[in-house]
Structure 1
Amino acid sequence: MSHTPAPLDQFEHLSTIAPDEILTRATATDHALPDGAGTLALITLDNGQGPRRPATLGSASLLELARAVDEQAARASAGEIQALGITGVEGVFAAGADLALVASLPADAETGRALGRLGHAVYDRIDAFPVPTVALVNGTALGGGLELALACDRRVIAPEVKALGLPEVRLGLIPGWSGVWRAPHLVGPEAAVALLLTNPLDNGRMIGAADAVRLGLMDSLAEGDLLAAGLTAAADAVAGRTVQRTADVSDAAWDRALQAFGAAQSARPGRDLPARRHLEELFAGARTRTRAESAEAEADALADLIGSAEFRRTVYAFLGLVQGRAKRPAGDPGVEQAHTVHRVGVVGAGLMAGQLALLFATALRVPVVMTDLDQERVDRGLAYVRSQLERSVTKGRMKAEDAEAVAGLITGATDVSAHAEAEFVIEAVFEELEVKRTVFRQLEQVVSPTAILATNTSSLSVAGMAEVLEHPERLVGFHFFNPVAQMPLVEIVRVAETTDAAVATAFELARRLRKTAVLVNDAAAFVVNRVLLRMMGEIQNSFDQGTDAHTADHALDPLAFPMTPFTLAAMVGLPVAQHVSESLQAAFGAERFPVSENLQRLIEAKKTAIWAKDVKSPEEAGGATGETIPADTAALIEQGDTPQTADELRVRVEDALAEEIGLLLDEGVVAAPDDVDLCMILGAGWPLHLGGITPYLDDCGASERVRGARFHQA
């Protein structure tokens, strides 16, 4: 139900307090509706930057949009237009609020509240527009951009759109321009839980066009031209033809949704973080509040959040690192030195190899050949690829013809000579140095002189592989994280002989694969696994020395990691974690990287986890549930008599991390602390609200305690 929009003059001061760095213009053009239904005025949002700098909505841009809407409202009232449309340009509808501008606002509550009310004043104008409104969603619509589309009466989306979402809680904010109210009322409160909470906290997961239509977030996919589809939708609205929306908003659905929301909050640490606390209250309130009442509550929440330390640290991590440092990587020789890649080879046909083949074929649309020791393994790898493509089609993430095209690009063979024509060949075989050296000896005999060879090793020496090559200059580390499709980081590893052309090719491939690459020098476990295993090792060590399991596993809960150390170890696999620990111990010694005897006993007994909730089978749980240790697992564990409190263990971990990162930087593994921060955010899920890991270690005092100096100047 619409309400009278607030006048704009009370918000003019915001554009002078923090002017938009780049103004998003809102220009209108007229288009004839089909069947003589009249005229649609189409407002197009364009900041003149194209897709490299998506249109955002700062205070001046919002005022620009509001004035454009007011102008068209006057025309509608005069009978000059019969519908209003809103769209964007070049694959971007609108990428939400301008975070840099929001962060530059004064940290006082009234300024934050005013920004929240401004968004509502603009979107209320669309909600109250005197004739039907249609969003023509041509591309990315995130946060305030998606909320803008939700304010329209109807929403038509281009089928190729892949990035829709309300990610605010991940960024220390809430969907403050009615998204937290509109989403549950539009798609039903149960579906809204994923949009508002679980997707953002799942590494910022977004949804595509088909999923959006299935949920009811969008009304229809455009078949053919988006403008034509939008005009048809507008004509239907003018003629009074309604859209059938079947979302369940019953009391029972709300009861289930609130229960699911609470369970999702409790499933991972950090429920009491300001943004998550406000989101939970606003979501629960959306059940009974009017939209106007919710708007005031949202403005109050923004007043609290915009000045919070959580938001300021998140802005540094997201804008400074994920969107800043990531786009200007240290050590990238430049795209002009990169080789063109028309064909890719993958050595191996196991799970990781299958994921890599699928990624390369889907993103690059070039032929990919997988090879393995026998036809059975090759067939198994190809079957995995096809099953993943079929799953994407079933979930509406890919058209059947696109999936078939990608499947046709991926072939298999049992002879490495199949890679003779590949410009880039990556191995994904067993994590054993001699196995990988054998692979590279064989490859060098068949590939072209200019082919780039890559290893996906997570911990082994790339130099140790290069030394068996006649041309070691062509070898580069190209370390992906699991699962390959979701994890955004690639560690590019160069050794002394590696050419700039090999490194440049790796960087360019990472960009084409839509991954963020960080250059690292050859050192055991590189950055992420080295830092992560030091952290997990301290937890395991404390447990082995006598700290009870619950205290050990939850000592870092105040940091709000995506999962606890014991659960993470079970997810990556105890043997894998132990293997990396052994590699690190061999490289750096047992004092910093002891190998746990308890963990080894569990591995030898084929145990997959410590907690019953993380085990792979009911038999292994032995009837235990949740955070309990199954009896036969507990019987294998031997503990010392020097337990620690949670606070003592947290300080121990912080100091160990400060030491390890300091040593890593002294060794020149990466160029700067910012690179460690970026790696840990994208490769290990370091929480954005903490900023980077090195600023956190400065703030908690660990860098001063251990190194006598901060990583960053105060």
Structure 2
Amino acid sequence: MIATTSVREVAGHRIALLELTADERRPLTWDATALESLGSAVAAVGGLDVEALVLLGPGGGLGAGADLQELRSPRQPDLGLRVAERGYAALEPLRTLPVPTVALLAGPALGGALEVGLTADVRIARDGAAVLGLPEVRLGLVPGWGGVTRLAELTGRAVAGRVAVTDALAGRTLSATGALEAGVVDVVLAGEDLDSFVEQAVTAVAAALDAPGSGQPAPPPQTPPTAAWEAWEAWDGGALLAAVERRTPGGTDAVRAAVELLDALGDVEATAGTSLRERTAVRLSRPEPPLRKETVTAFDRLVGGVQARAGIASFFAVQRARSATRRAAAGARWSRVGVVGGGLMATQLAALVAQRTGARVHLVEVDPERAATAVQRVRGHLERAVRAGLDAAAAAAAAEATTAGTDLADLAGCEAVIEAVVEDLAVKRSVWRDLEDVVDDTTLLLTNTSSLSVTAMGDGLRHPERVVGLHFFNPVAVLPLVEVVAAPATSSEAVRTTLALADALGKTAVTSADAPGFIVNRLLSRWMGDALSLVDAGEDPEVVDRALQPDGLPMTPFQLVEHIGPAVQLHILESLQDAFPDRFVASACLRELVQHDLPGFRDPSAAALLPPRSGTATSPQVRRSLLCGLADELDQVLREHVAADVQDVDAAMLLGAGFPPHQRGLSGLLDTSGASQLVRGSRFHEEGAR
């Protein structure tokens, strides 16, 4: 990292702009070198004749957090202690600088990067660009440089608990608007580009210097909506722990450590409403950051724990998949993309493509009425995206770029066409046969199927080498995974281009061979199929449904059936039963559920469809049976080369199925439970490996 300081004269004020630059190919990582550069550069500002410091990271964001690579090494005495103290020491010049400090947030600021921003007196975010969060608890850690206590002093402990614990566990981040509502940032500015945002921000800082005793850090004062945060005004550590334990019985070490820090901090008065100079005065009046020793001790203790080792391994499994996706993106440009279908998935995909790529998107439906409805659905998805933080102007542009009609010929000239019609092989093959007569020979043909054979879809086409499966997960805007499915005839160039599109859509791709169920649905269906078979055999449905709840899985089998839809899940199980009759059974009670058109097993009417209870299996026995089934299926997936390796499977299950990082996804859960050893005679990972 390189730090460059310039002095700007604005409205009679001298303001230092400290700009950080780093490798453009990836977000700034706060390793030892970057921390040292920051500390030295800020300390040098103290010798300048300036009235304020404005900090700007590479591309506008402060980066993706601390360097976790160091924490992957074998356990060293006091490793966490050294890493935490290093961060505190590097931020000390910023904490003690005798002039007001402002952090600009126009990009990602996650983990340690947000801790850097929280050390400043004021934070100004760019609308539609800022992505903020403290994800450490999800990885089995706590923010090691004071992020929990610094945030609590700004927002109060309840909001800090939501951001650092609840949102972290759910994998949620804050947009600029959300951060403003929470009190994490002080001002949100638009800015047509980064340069104009910086100019507006520096001008706002100069204006704030002229109003030392009152007002917000930039005129005019902004009064954000607070409804989303009203329930988080009062701190209750016990209630937060209980809420976590309802989802993950027993909780996690990191959650307990974060709650202990917030409890120890005591009542604090949020400072979000004070002026810039008042904040500076409060900061300079404190001899040291609150609970520094306690934070460092907690971080050091967690670093050596099993859950942190698993969480860090999960992080790198996901990063590996993301890097592979990004490597394919060089030079890819999208100007026109087609979507066949106008249902829920098709319109979600159209909205995402228009929003993220800037391409013109055209949907094709069977009649004018459905085409018009599809456009309205796309606009509805974009409106929801605005509420989640998307810039309103960007949403309007995406809506303007989206059209719909009834003629496949209108898709001529598209670089890619995504098919998202009903999950029926004959219908999908008919679409591709008709479409191949319309589009160019180089057009990428992408099918959004959850279980059908990509090979079969390409049979009979003139160019089957360009047919690729692109399996999105619902809701499309939220879940970060796509499975890229390559049939034997699929060309490597088609796979590379599909990965580039996935990257443009902000997704992480895991490549799967063309096998029934691919990766995620195959493994989830083995779990659900085994669970439903136990219910069919007369075991207690509640015992079966909750057997893996202590392992922190995001849904029970019954909840998952409701989420996917009974008819869709039955179709997937039937497909898998055809392929693997020795391991998969299309459940009789699931079939009854579909025939009676019920939404799930938790519907009151579903109880009458279940067989009489005759089994006596205990929860531990059911858990062992289900985990051994998963271990068997994961072993089969790897032996059949459906996935390249176990890390790809872990990334897919973490991103697509929400398996817990503190368990190292699916494979780590199977290893620690002993199921791997029971089924295959060995673990999926060497013991102690990160």
TM-score bracket for this pair, using the shorter chain length: 0.7 to 0.9
Among 63, 88, 112, which residue is 1:120 paired with? 88
Shift of 1:527: 0.8
With over 3 angstroms needed to count, the CA separation of the structure-2 counterparts of 1:678 and 1:475, relative to structure 1, is same
- Contact 2:128 2:390 (8 Å CA) reproduced: no
Shift of 1:95: 2.5
- Whether 1:524 and 2:503 are equivalent positions in the alignment is no
CA distance in 1, matches of 2:334, 2:63: 33
Q: How many residues align?
A: 656
- Whether 1:708 and 2:687 are equivalent positions in the alignment is no
Among 586, 594, 600, which residue is 1:609 paired with? 600
- Whether 1:213 and 2:180 are equivalent positions in the alignment is yes
Cα shift readout 1:631-676 (whole Å, capped 9, x = no counterpart): x322221145233222222221222122112222222222222222
With over 3 angstroms needed to count, the CA separation of the structure-2 counterparts of 1:147 and 1:452, relative to structure 1, is same
1:397 is aligned with what amino acid? G
- Contact 1:544 1:640 (8 Å CA) reproduced: no
The answer for the alignment partner of 2:129 in structure 1 is 161
- Contact 2:540 2:615 (8 Å CA) reproduced: no
- Contact 2:321 2:508 (8 Å CA) reproduced: no
CA distance in 2, matches of 1:552, 1:643: 11
The answer for the alignment partner of 1:67 in structure 2 is 40
- Contact 2:635 2:680 (8 Å CA) reproduced: yes
- Contact 1:156 1:220 (8 Å CA) reproduced: yes
Shift of 1:257: 5.8
The answer for the alignment partner of 1:300 in structure 2 is 297
Shift of 1:452: 2.1
SS of residue in 2 equivalent to 1:42:
strand
Shift of 1:198: 2.7
Shift of 1:353: 0.4
Shift of 1:470: 3.5
Among 12, 15, 29, which residue is 1:36 paired with? 12
Among 50, 56, 59, which residue is 2:29 paired with? 56
Cα shift readout 1:59-99 (whole Å, capped 9, x = no counterpart): 443344333333333x26xxx22222222122332322111
Cα shift readout 1:541-587 (whole Å, capped 9, x = no counterpart): 22333332332222112321122222122111122212111111111
- Contact 2:241 2:255 (8 Å CA) reproduced: no
With over 3 angstroms needed to count, the CA separation of the structure-2 counterparts of 1:223 and 1:382, relative to structure 1, is closer
CA distance in 1, matches of 2:200, 2:465: 54
Q: Mind listing any 5+ residue stretches in structure 1 that lack a counterpart?
A: 1-23, 612-619, 621-629
- Contact 2:321 2:510 (8 Å CA) reproduced: no
- Contact 1:326 1:678 (8 Å CA) reproduced: no
CA distance in 1, matches of 2:346, 2:325: 26
With over 3 angstroms needed to count, the CA separation of the structure-2 counterparts of 1:163 and 1:261, relative to structure 1, is same
The percent of aligned pairs where both chains have the same amino acid is 39
SS of residue in 1 equivalent to 2:62:
strand
CA distance in 1, matches of 2:336, 2:377: 21
- Whether 1:374 and 2:367 are equivalent positions in the alignment is yes
- Whether 1:402 and 2:394 are equivalent positions in the alignment is yes
Among 566, 576, 587, which residue is 1:584 paired with? 576
TM-score w.r.t. the length of structure 1 is 0.85
CA distance in 2, matches of 1:94, 1:450: 37
The answer for the alignment partner of 1:11 in structure 2 is none
The answer for the alignment partner of 1:16 in structure 2 is none
Shift of 1:130: 1.7
2:5 is aligned with what amino acid? A
Among 231, 256, 267, which residue is 1:277 paired with? 256
SS of residue in 1 equivalent to 2:384:
helix
- Whether 1:512 and 2:486 are equivalent positions in the alignment is no
Cα RMSD, aligned residues only:
2.9
CA distance in 1, matches of 2:584, 2:262: 45
Among 591, 598, 602, which residue is 2:589 paired with? 598
Shift of 1:132: 1.2
- Whether 1:646 and 2:619 are equivalent positions in the alignment is yes
SS of residue in 2 equivalent to 1:328:
helix
- Contact 1:176 1:295 (8 Å CA) reproduced: no
Shift of 1:529: 0.3
Cα shift readout 1:255-279 (whole Å, capped 9, x = no counterpart): 3665763464144215521111212
The answer for the alignment partner of 1:235 in structure 2 is 206
Shift of 1:505: 1.9
- Whether 1:98 and 2:67 are equivalent positions in the alignment is yes
- Contact 2:250 2:550 (8 Å CA) reproduced: no
SS of residue in 1 equivalent to 2:81:
helix
With over 3 angstroms needed to count, the CA separation of the structure-2 counterparts of 1:161 and 1:550, relative to structure 1, is same
Shift of 1:237: 4.2
| Bigger mean CA deviation after superposition, 560-569 or 305-314 | 560-569
The answer for the alignment partner of 1:464 in structure 2 is 456
Cα shift readout 1:329-361 (whole Å, capped 9, x = no counterpart): 69x9x668x986432111110000001111111
1:43 is aligned with what amino acid? L
CA distance in 2, matches of 1:199, 1:287: 22
- Whether 1:143 and 2:111 are equivalent positions in the alignment is yes
2:65 is aligned with what amino acid? G
- Contact 1:162 1:206 (8 Å CA) reproduced: no
Cα shift readout 1:269-304 (whole Å, capped 9, x = no counterpart): 155211112122223333437984433322221121
- Contact 2:20 2:57 (8 Å CA) reproduced: yes
CA distance in 1, matches of 2:403, 2:650: 38
The answer for the alignment partner of 2:149 in structure 1 is 181
1:36 is aligned with what amino acid? G
The answer for the alignment partner of 1:261 in structure 2 is 240
1:510 is aligned with what amino acid? A
CA distance in 1, matches of 2:242, 2:601: 22
Cα shift readout 1:399-434 (whole Å, capped 9, x = no counterpart): 333222111111111222222222211211111111
Shift of 1:480: 1.0
CA distance in 2, matches of 1:116, 1:294: 13
SS of residue in 2 equivalent to 1:346:
strand
CA distance in 2, matches of 1:476, 1:253: 46
The answer for the alignment partner of 1:658 in structure 2 is 631
SS of residue in 1 equivalent to 2:174:
coil
CA distance in 2, matches of 1:270, 1:59: 37
| Bigger mean CA deviation after superposition, 310-319 or 174-183 | 174-183
- Contact 2:15 2:51 (8 Å CA) reproduced: yes
- Contact 2:409 2:438 (8 Å CA) reproduced: yes
CA distance in 2, matches of 1:672, 1:26: 40
